Amino acid sequence: MQIANVEAPTKTSAHVSTDYRAMSMVTTLFFMWGFLTCLNDILVPHLKSIFDLNYAKVMLIQLSFFSAYFFFSIPSGKVIEWIGYKKTMVVGLFTMAIGALLFIPAASAPSFPLFLTALMILAAGITALQVAANPYVAVLGPPKTASSRLNFTQAFNSLGTTIAPYIGGLLILSSAPKTIDEIRRLSADQLQAYRLHEAASVKGPYLLFAVTLIVLGLIISKFRLPVIPDAEPSALHGTHIHTSSIWHYRHLLLGAIAIFVYVGAEVSIGSFLVNYFGQREIGNLPEKVAAGYVSYYWFSAMVGRFAGAAILQKVRPGKVLGIAALMACLLVTTSMLTFGHLAMWSIILVGFFNSIMFPSIFTLGIAELGPLTGEGSGILVMAIVGGAIIPVVQGALADRIGIHHAFFLPVLCYLYILYYGFKGSRPKFIGQQSATLAANAQAN
């Protein structure tokens, strides 16, 4: 996938003002994928109970979902080359709808592997939206405020993640689920009947989501999104700009690691909150009540993104990212070392400091790449696979040392992001190299 360089102004990327009409429509996509992604935090305790899974096995939900970013990121870029950004967004929405519809046969079986398949297809559609929408928003206005613009749209992503746990808790989680001991005492026929009854709770919600996604796809297909020539894949066709390999850009590769650990940490924390708040020494809350508290975690992220959109107009992204990572690290550590309400609210407040991390890392990672910006964007999106791997590792740790102390893994993730914000994000090729790249681009 190739997009315009969001750092160096071009004829089209250096707009006098942001195209807010197009940005408003694309922002609805950020909301939808945030909402559906966060529903995984409700599916984790729900399916854990239904299928009597340990923490490591239930984290296959996140593994299936986020591994789609690794497998479908590059194909999504190819789709953009073939049909453009707008049509790729439509394809992504329809693919998400197919994944949502597959929840119905998965619940009818009921089959945990089929649930995982449905989640992967749903995530494949979200991957297409991510690959298309993030860089598209970056070039809808002045390059200088690209990070701020992404923070603003990500705020509506957080609005979706804030609403999802509450709605998901009401629609999916049972008010009085059986305990693990009660489930294990059921006969084979009783167990099958229980699983069918509990799994059926996902049918109605995901059918509604599928219909909503299809309608939104039809609306986007009819909406006149502006074509930004420098951002379209055809913009660089026919040129022969000689640049260094994308793998020579140290800040991009370090940025991909930062995306990997950030998404992994955020997803790990969100996935364990319902079970964490249910621990006797933490909150001793029933699942349905705990799901409501998960909304506070994502609400704090939404507030942080709106605040971050304003702050990033004035302060450089690297500095903001480093401070946010430091605060997130301290809050997770506090939760690990304490109990009760202090442990609960310190982990909830991590969401506020998570808020600016993805858009900041994304824009820092593709800085100074010139005509290689598209390749860099694809690498960063692939790194979202961290959300598939790190939660599984934390699940294995939780099975061995307890859910409370397993949070030391996100602490390590935030320490790396702190390093990237303050030091690792500085572009390797500056000055003469950038000037050479610009001169080559003009010559061609």
* Burial state string for 176-189 with b = 16 or more CB within 10 A and e = fewer than 16: ebeeeeebeeeeee
Instruction: Please tell me the pTM assigned to this model.
Output: 0.72
Residue pointed to by tokens 């509450």: 166
Instruction: Render pLDDT for 356-402 as a digit per residue (tens, 0 to 9).
Output: 898 889 888 877 776 666 667 778 888 988 988 898 899 899 989 88
pLDDT per residue, tens digit, the chain (444 aa), is 333 333 333 344 444 466 677 788 888 898 998 899 888 888 888 888 888 888 888 888 888 998 888 888 878 877 877 888 888 899 999 999 999 999 999 999 889 999 999 999 999 999 988 888 877 776 676 666 666 777 788 778 878 877 887 888 888 876 556 666 777 777 778 878 888 888 888 899 999 999 999 999 999 988 887 765 544 545 444 444 445 577 788 888 999 999 999 999 998 898 888 889 988 888 888 877 887 788 888 888 888 888 887 887 788 888 999 999 999 999 999 999 999 999 999 999 999 999 889 888 988 887 777 666 666 777 888 898 898 889 889 989 998 988 899 999 999 999 999 999 998 888 765 444 444 444 444 444
Instruction: Render pLDDT for 273-282 as a digit per residue (tens, 0 to 9).
Output: 888 998 888 8
pLDDT score at 24: 83
Q: How far is CA 129 from CA 33, 119, 136, 381, in A?
A: 8, 15, 10, 11
pLDDT score at 259: 95
May I ask the CATH architecture of the domain 20-224+245-437? Up-down Bundle (1.20)
Start-to-end Cα distance in the chain: 20
- Average pLDDT of every residue of the chain: 81
What is the spatial distance between Cα 92 and Cα 5, in angstroms, rounded to a whole number?
Answer: 24
